[in-house]
Structure formats: C-alpha cells, structure tokens
C-alpha cells in the first residue's frame, strides 16, 4: 500500500521531465512508476503537440492505473505549455491531485530543444534528460536545463560503445558544467541506475514533505526561431506577442504571461 502523504504537505510533489526528442523521457517515467508505485502514490501528465501518444504508451505498459495518466495536447511548441502558459498542465495536475491521494505527479514535457525548461510555477523540481546517442559533446554545450536542472540524466549508457561515446567522460564534463548539481548515468538495462533514480526522487519527496523544498528556475530559454525566416525571439518578461510556425500553421501568442 502506498504511504499517505505527510499532513504538512498541502499537495503532491510535482516533478518535471524535460529534454530533447527521443532521449528517453517516457521510458524514465515508466521506470520510476515501476520502481516506486508500491511505495508511493503516483500520477503522470504527458505533453505532446498533437497526440496523446506518450500517455497511451505508458497506459499500454501498465505502469500505473490508466486513469492516473493524463495527456495534455499542447497544440503549440512544448516549451510554451511548460514555461509560458502552464494552465493546461496545472489543470491536469490539480484534477489528479483532487481525485487521488498523491505523493508525486510526474510531468513529461514534449520533446523540445536543448534550452526548454519547466517554469517553477508548474513543477517543484525538474530533471533534464540527454542521451549518449545525441553525441558525447552535448553535455559540454550547456544551456539552462543541462547546467541548472535539479538532476541531469545522461541516458542510454548501454548504447555508448555502439555510438563511440565515452559515457564516463560525458558525465564528468556534465558535472563540471553543473557546479556540484547531480548527474546520473542511466540505462533501462542497468537496474542499479534505475534504483538510484528512484532514490533521488524519494530524497526530493522528503524535502518537499519537510516543507523546505524551494523550486529553482534553471532560467529562460535561449533566443530561438520557430521557422525559416522568422526572427529569433526569447521568452522573457515583457516580450511582445509574436508569431510561431507550427508545421505550416502560424498564430500569434504572447510569451510575456
């Protein structure tokens, strides 16, 4: 039976999982659910632009009661839903928290670029996921998620020999870039690494229950564009409305919220 949350906890701990497309975010959430579902009460919110594919994958994998897994279709770039207007995600989290006695809600960002991070208004702590197949030099490139997420995961280390990457060096370089913040080498094929990930989450949960977890913001996205010919923009306060290209569609929205 899952333990009940501490009476001092007003709501479930919210953990964000961000990182580029295909680095293993859904698999990590599945592994956390498998590792911890007997010990704590979990729910999941996934973000995809047009589909609920990640939620369907997790439901099909049977990692949790399917009703505890909700999909948010962002309809725009994933970083918009986790950073600028977090309403849809917050609503999904709050509905889950009102329906179940929860310890933790895991929120998966849609796969995005290297600079997308969660707003501290949405999650209490966040992990950023890279994989060795993306190249050994990615961790050196920096960016807010790599340098300042609460945990950086270097994922799919089992593939390192096949893609010519020195995973230990990648971890060392990432650690050097993070000023003492933790880095975890992970593989779905290495149970010890999955247990270490579960332990990290339980540590964060203890801090949350003690009422001393202060969400920290890794920082805004770097200036970027959404389509050929569009000028680079940022997501900082006071930024004027601009247009974004989304597979041919264009719409205006204000990132200053």
Binding-site residue positions for GTP: 19-26
Which residue number is nearest to ligand GTP in terms of Cβ? 111
In the complex, the smallest distance separating the C-beta of residue 198 from ligand GTP, rounded to whole angstroms, is 15
Please report whether residue 195 would count as binding ligand GTP according to CB under 6 A.
no
Q: Which is nearer to ligand GTP, 5 or 78 (CB)?
A: 78
Alpha helix positions (H), the chain:
25-36, 53-61, 78-79, 87-99, 144-148, 160-163, 167-177, 191-209
* Number of residues in contact with ligand GTP under rule CB under 6 A: 16
Q: Choose which of 23, 35, 41, 115 interacts with ligand GTP (CB under 6 A).
A: 23
Phi then psi dihedrals of residue 224, to 5 deg: -155, 170
Cα distances (angstroms) measured from residue 29 to each of 76, 131, 148, 207, 229:
22, 15, 20, 20, 36
Phi then psi dihedrals of residue 100, to 5 deg: -125, 160
In the complex, the smallest distance separating the C-beta of residue 26 from ligand GTP, rounded to whole angstroms, is 3
CA distance 98 to 91: 10
Instruction: Select from 25-33, 61-69, 145-153, 196-204 the region that touches ligand GTP (CB under 6 A).
Output: 25-33
In the complex, the smallest distance separating the C-beta of residue 108 from ligand GTP, rounded to whole angstroms, is 7
Query: Which tokens sit at 49?
Result: 């632009």
Q: Choose which of 147, 155, 165, 171 interacts with ligand GTP (CB under 6 A).
A: 155
In the complex, the smallest distance separating the C-beta of residue 161 from ligand GTP, rounded to whole angstroms, is 11
* First-to-last C-alpha distance (Å) of the chain: 41
By CB under 6 A, the residues from 49 to 88 that bind ligand GTP are 54
CA distance 145 to 183: 12
Instruction: Select from 138-146, 185-193, 225-233, 244-252 the region that touches ligand GTP (CB under 6 A).
Output: 185-193
Please report whether residue 158 would count as binding ligand GTP according to CB under 6 A.
yes
* HSE-CB of 7 using CA atoms within 13 angstroms: 0
Binding letters toward ligand GTP, positions 111-150, x by CB under 6 A: x---------------------------------------
CA distance 127 to 111: 13
User: Residue 106 carries which DSSP code?
Assistant: E
In the complex, the smallest distance separating the C-beta of residue 187 from ligand GTP, rounded to whole angstroms, is 4
Catalog residues that contact ligand GTP under the rule CB under 6 A: 21-27, 54, 111, 155-156, 158-159, 187-189
């Amino acid at each position: 039976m899952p333990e009940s949350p501490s009476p001092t906890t007003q709501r479930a701990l919210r953990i964000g999982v961000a990182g580029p497309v295909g680095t293993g975010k859904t698999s990590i959430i599945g592994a956390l659910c498998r590792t911890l579902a007997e010990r704590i009460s979990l729910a999941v919110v996934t973000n995809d632009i047009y589909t609920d594919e990640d939620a369907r994958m997790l439901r099909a994998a049977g990692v949790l009661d399917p009703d505890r897994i909700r999909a948010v279709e962002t309809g725009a770039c994933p970083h918009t839903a986790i950073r600028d207007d977090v309403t849809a995600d917050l609503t999904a989290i709050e509905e889950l928290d009102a329906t179940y006695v929860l310890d933790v809600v895991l929120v998966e960002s849609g796969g995005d670029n290297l600079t997308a991070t969660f707003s501290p208004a949405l999650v209490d702590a966040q992990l950023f996921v890279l994989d060795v197949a993306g190249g050994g030099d990615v961790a050196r490139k920096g960016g807010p998620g790599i340098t300042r997420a609460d945990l950086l995961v270097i994922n799919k280390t089992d593939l390192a020999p096949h893609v010519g990457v020195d995973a230990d060096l990648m971890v060392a370089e990432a650690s050097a870039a993070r000023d003492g913040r933790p880095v975890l080498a992970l593989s779905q094929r290495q149970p010890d690494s999955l247990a270490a990930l579960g332990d990290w989450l339980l540590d964060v949960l203890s801090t949350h229950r003690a009422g001393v977890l202060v969400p920290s913001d890794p920082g805004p996205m770097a200036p970027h564009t959404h389509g050929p010919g569009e000028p680079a923009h940022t997501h900082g306060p006071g930024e004027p409305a601009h247009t974004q290209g989304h597979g041919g569609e264009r719409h205006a929205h204000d990132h200053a919220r």
